Structures are given as C-alpha cells and as structure tokens.
Amino acid sequence: MTDTAPGAAQAAPAGPTDAAPIRVLAAALTELEPLLGVVTEPLRVAPPPELASGARPALQAAIDALTDRLRVPRLTVAASDDGLWSVELAVGKRLFRDLTVAPPPAALGTYTEEADHAVRATRAAPPGHPVLLYAHDGTPLRGYRAGAADLPAVVVVPAVGMPVGLAAPWLRALAGVRQVVTWESRGMFASADTPGPPPPARHDLAAQAADVLAVLDGFGIDEAHVMGLCGGAAIALAAAAASPRVTSLSLWHGDYELGGDAAKTPHQHDVQNLLAMASRSPRHALSLHRMMRRPQALDTLRPDIAHHLLHPYASAELMYRYGQLNGVIMNTDCRPLLKEVRQPTLVVSSDLDTTAHPEGSVHVAEHLPRATLRMMPHGNHLTAFDAAPALVRALTDFTGAPPLTGRAEEGA
C-alpha cells in the first residue's frame, strides 16, 4: 500500500503493557510488507516451539489484525515448519525473531486498536511508508524519504530487486544530517494502483538510471549526492553520466561489468548465468523458482536478512523480471561511463568481499578522474548495507556532512 504524496508520520501513543508483542510483530510485518505484497500464494509461518505452545490462537489473531492494517495478505500460523518452503521459513524467522512472549489471549478483543497504533508508530521511523512516484516512462515506483527536507540530499541506489529494508540502515544512519531518499526497483514491488507488481515499461540500464532523477523529481529535490550499493553502483554511474544534478558519487562494493579489465568472483559468474537463464522466458524462470523454493536455499543466506535476499525469487514472474533487470546491470559494460563521469567520487570496497570482486572497484577508482578509493580493512559485501559507524564516517567525511556522535552514531 502506498500514499500518493509524502507526509510526516505521527508516532502513536504507547499502548498497554500487554501490547508489547503487538509492537514487535508490527515492526516485523512492516519490514516484511514488500515481500508479502508480491508472493502469489497463501503463506504459512511456524512460531518457535516455546511460543507456539497454547498460543497459536492469540498469535493468529494478532497477526490477522496487523496484516489487515497493513493491507497485505494474511498469514496462517502453522503447528510446525514441516513442509514450509523457503520464503515461508524466512518470513517466519523474521516475524518471530524478536518476540520473547506471545500476545496474551485476554487481549484478543483489543488487537485491532493496538495494531493500528503499532503500525503507525513503526512507520514513524525510517524508512517509513512508501510514497507512490512515477518514472519518466510512466512505471510506478515506491519511494521513501527520511530526514528534514531542507537538508542536503542523498539518494541511496539500492541493489537491484531488493526491498527497502536492506538499505534502511543507511536511511536511519543519515537522517539526522541529510535528507535521504531511495526507491525500490521498477517492476519488482506491489503498487497501490495495481493488484501486483506492475510490469516495467523498460528494463535497460538507462531506464534504471533515469529512475534516480525521477525520484529527485518526485520529492522536489534539485540535486543530490548519489550512493550506489552493489549493482546500484552501475546505476549511480549511469545517472551521474546523464545528469549534472548528481553532484557527487559514492560507490559501495560495486558489481561492475568491465570486460577483461577486472576479475570477477565465482559468485558473480554464477549469478550472471542464473540471470541469463531466468530472463530467457517465464518458463525458464519457473524451473529456477522451483529450485529456490527448497529450504536449502536459505543455507547460503545471512539469516537476519534472508527475507530481503529472497525477494527476487519469491515467484516465477519476479525471477523473470529480476533476470531482465539485474541481468542488464551485470552485462552492460561500465567502461564507457568511466570516461563520462566527472563528479567527485568515493569508491569503497574490501579485500574480504567474495561477492563482487574488489578488483572491479580498484579499476573504477583508477579510471575515474576525481575518485578516492577506500579499501576497508573489515567487512564483506553484505556488511556494506549495515551502515556501520566506520562506513557512515567515510561517507559523511567525503560529503562534508556533520559527523554523527553519541546515540546517533551508535544507531548506525
């Protein structure tokens, strides 16, 4: 569900003591909302045994109230995880991760009101509620904004196909010193005016780069620093080459196609092959989707963000679109862009990145005329999304933003 215009969320008053489980479930379901909005079949979730014993009716009633408030499909609380597929397992782990006690059965009659308060309070914090924006080719986009509108702007270009929750740590970390905006990839997320994810009008790199400028337009922003994460680094480069409204860049653990000028990891080669097959036809995507349904698909995913990482594989149609969108990113030669981009650029990677080869970042930094390379001593590819204090400091130092101190930096 999306609004048609940005607005300031209002924090709700605290509910009764027994509403604490409702608030925990509300936070989890709000984070899961992008995924729940695109899955094409009913989902089941299994609470851990210590919660499930005697509490399934209360859990079901609380989840029903919250999913109704969020306008996402209901979830069925199952007795166990036997027979659940990968997305169901990932959703259940996130939903019950922070829940230490089940909602008390005595509160059943008040769940609807408490759910309303809990959802409003959760959305008051970044990334907030999605705002309906439109790309220049008419494709609807789900945009997000955090921080005061009178602060200098930063556009976070996310990894292709990933929900806003994966980049949300950056929105939370920067909201005190910058206006931070982002969006979710075209064609991969549900919109208020369509029953499911609307098909993108285009999927080429130029169209995805133009979405950066459409987000600026949608939020009334003239110019911004643009930071690209993973495959979003290629989109950020293309946006900078296309428009001076991109005043500076930061490229984080970028996944680039550079021909024979930089090595790629086995993971990059494997994903390229997977996307090439998925993009061939919906039939090919369906066979790959069946493979990704296996519980073993979770074995190689970081548990705390598995529900985000599975999003592009949640249905055969999503896999087909992901193959097109991210396949273009991974196969479009970025070397011509390096000759066109003149903006100051911070390039960040780590020798510990086994997902996107750090040699790609080194090559990009060497061939951009105004680039600064930072090879971090710690952290892998996925930790770039965590907005750890050292990474936040690297960005604020580069952009000249006031440093975060005290509780703000601890929250990063």
Task: Give the pLDDT of residue 102.
Answer: 84
Burial profile 277-308: b = 16 or more Cβ within 10 angstroms, e = fewer: bbbeeeebbeebbeebbeeebbeebeeebbbb
Q: Is 131-411 in CATH node 3.40.50.1820?
A: yes
Burial-class residue 33 by CB neighbours within 10 Å (0-12, 13-18, 19+): buried
**Count of C-beta atoms within a 10 Å radius of residue 50:** 11
49 Cβ contact partners less than 8 Å away, ≥ 6 residues apart: none
Look-up: residue for tokens 């030669």?
Answer: 333
Chain mean pLDDT for the chain: 90
Q: Which two tokens stand for residue 113?
A: 């009101």
Tell me the whole-structure pTM to 2 decimals.
0.91
**Count of C-beta atoms within a 10 Å radius of residue 263:** 12
Q: φ and ψ at 310, to 5 degrees?
A: -85, -10
Q: What is the DSSP letter of 56?
A: H
- What residues does CATH 3.40.50.1820 cover in the chain? 131-411
pLDDT digit string (tens) for 9-53? 333 333 444 678 888 999 999 999 999 999 989 999 999 988 877
Question: Which whole number is the average pLDDT over 155-181?
Answer: 96
DSSP 4-44: SS-----PPPP--GGGHHHHHHHHHHHHHHHHHTT--S-EE
Question: Please, where are the H alpha helices in 227-371?
Answer: 232-242, 266-278, 282-292, 306-309, 316-331, 335-338, 358-367
Question: Which whole number is the average pLDDT over 198-221?
Answer: 96
Burial-class residue 272 by CB neighbours within 10 Å (0-12, 13-18, 19+): middle
Question: Which whole number is the average pLDDT over 259-281?
Answer: 96
Task: Give the pLDDT of residue 159.
Answer: 97
- Pick 198 or 365 by higher pLDDT: 365
Distance in angstroms between the alpha carbons of the first and the last residue of the chain: 28
Q: Of 110-119, 209-218, 279-288, 297-306, where does mean pLDDT reach its minimum?
A: 110-119
- How far, in Å, are 123, 149, 161 from residue 9 at the CA level? 7, 14, 26
Task: Give the pLDDT of residue 50.
Answer: 84
- How far, in Å, are 29, 91, 140, 391 from residue 118 at the CA level? 11, 19, 28, 31
Q: Residue 406 pLDDT more than 50?
A: no
Burial profile 103-135: b = 16 or more Cβ within 10 angstroms, e = fewer: beeebeebbeebbbbbbbbbbebbbbbbbbbeb
Query: How far apart are the C-alpha atoms of 225 and 246, rounded to whole Å?
Result: 6
Q: Among 310, 282, 308, 152, which Cα is nearest to 216's?
A: 152
Question: Please, where are the H alpha helices in 125-244?
Answer: 164-174, 205-218, 232-242
